[in-house]
Amino acid sequence: MTGIFAGLRVIDAASYVAAPAAATILGDFGAEVIKLEPPGGDAYRALATAPGQPRGETDYPWVLDNRGKRGLVLDLKRPEAQAVLHRLIRDTDVFITNAVPRLRSGLGIAPDLLLGLNPRLIYAALTAYGETGPEADKTGFDATAYWARSGLMDLVRPDASSPPARSVAGLGDHPTGVALYGAIATALYRRERTGQGGLVSATLLGAGLWANGFMVQAALDGAHFIPRPPRDRAPNALVNLYQAGCGRWFLLALLNEARQWPALRAVFGHPDWGEDARFATPALRREHAGALIPLLDAGFATRSLDEWRPVLDAAGLTFDAVGTTQEAAASTQARAMGAIRPTAAGGWTVDTPMHLAGETKAPATPPPALGGDTEAILAEHGYAPAEIRRLREAGALG
């Protein structure tokens, strides 16, 4: 392997999305990542077949979050399997888990135990609600802990009278995985300075509170909250959703009003709006947003979104379409900036969202088959074929 993390050994013993995503980032930058699964495999392998998910020919979520990893199966409920893991831990740099604290001792993966075996180990824990407190052992998904509990689900809806909006798969998991990666990278830097590893953590709730930090800080500071009004009664007509003549919606976001309000008037061919006393200042435009929104609605309805795009861009007006997921996947710009990159098999995948100048990411190779590298990994750690056979017969390898 090449890359900034070449030579770094990672055991990804986590399930589903958030914690494994942190391992995926490490692997993208050259780390060797072993995907440790229980017999039967990570339940995430079946998510693509869950009701309501897109139907396809590939196990697309597994491909996304476990590309380039090697597959190992150990039944950590068995002492023999725990002994294998402990042997591997002695020359492992990063161990990643999303087991809640109360389950770790029974699986032989308690932080004190593993750090005792290898003081340089970075023990990375991902939980829904944290390592301490009355809900530390409460399980959760991003839909519950990141989206619902954080206040985001309550706030992100068309208006206050609408029912709460459901999240989509991985919405909170991937940003939380980036947070865990950041904790791991910080701990690796500390280890370079001190020689010591240690426990690092990230949580779905913490990442959700951070994502909703603008509003949560307002609540902490005792600010008065204003219920979100319907679109046609938005408090700022220049930061609002509009519909083009073709039926497509787009978001207008004009925050530099000194420059962009005159440009918008010019685009519509209405310099006279600048003489309208209701719209003379930003404060007055907000006060009379209910009168300005219908004027903009009527203007935007005269052209299709494809016609508006070059006009608004040329005028320096900040906007973007409410795109579909299929459009996002096909985006030329996403490919040009590297957000979507080729796979080694000739397809495309979503890239992890950070880049270092001069660093080339590892090829996006296929994810591991269940336990596909078990015997090779054990042999690399000194297990003879007869020992591997006995472990398999004992059920330690699933």
Catalytic residues: 173
| Through-space distance between the first and last CA atoms of the chain, rounded to whole angstroms | 29
Nearest alpha-carbon partner for 72 in 20, 114, 107, 37: 37
Contacts (Cβ under 8 Å, ≥6 apart) of 124: 19, 22, 94, 95, 96, 97, 180, 183, 184, 187, 200, 201, 202
Report the distance separating Cα 243 and Cα 304, nearest Å: 9
Nearest alpha-carbon partner for 45 in 398, 371, 361: 371
The residues pairing with 127 across neighbouring beta strands, listed in sequence order, are 203
The residues pairing with 240 across neighbouring beta strands, listed in sequence order, are 252
Kind of pairing, strands 70-73 and 32-37? parallel
C-alpha dihedral sign at 97, 101, 106, 112: positive
Contacts (Cβ under 8 Å, ≥6 apart) of 94: 8, 9, 10, 11, 23, 26, 31, 121, 122, 124, 184, 188
Report the distance separating Cα 321 and Cα 323, nearest Å: 5
266, 315 contact by CB (below 8 A): yes
Report the distance separating Cα 285 and Cα 303, nearest Å: 24
Residues 119-149 as b/e (b if ≥16 CB within 10 A, e otherwise) read ebbbbbbbbbbbeeeebeeeebbbbbbbbbb
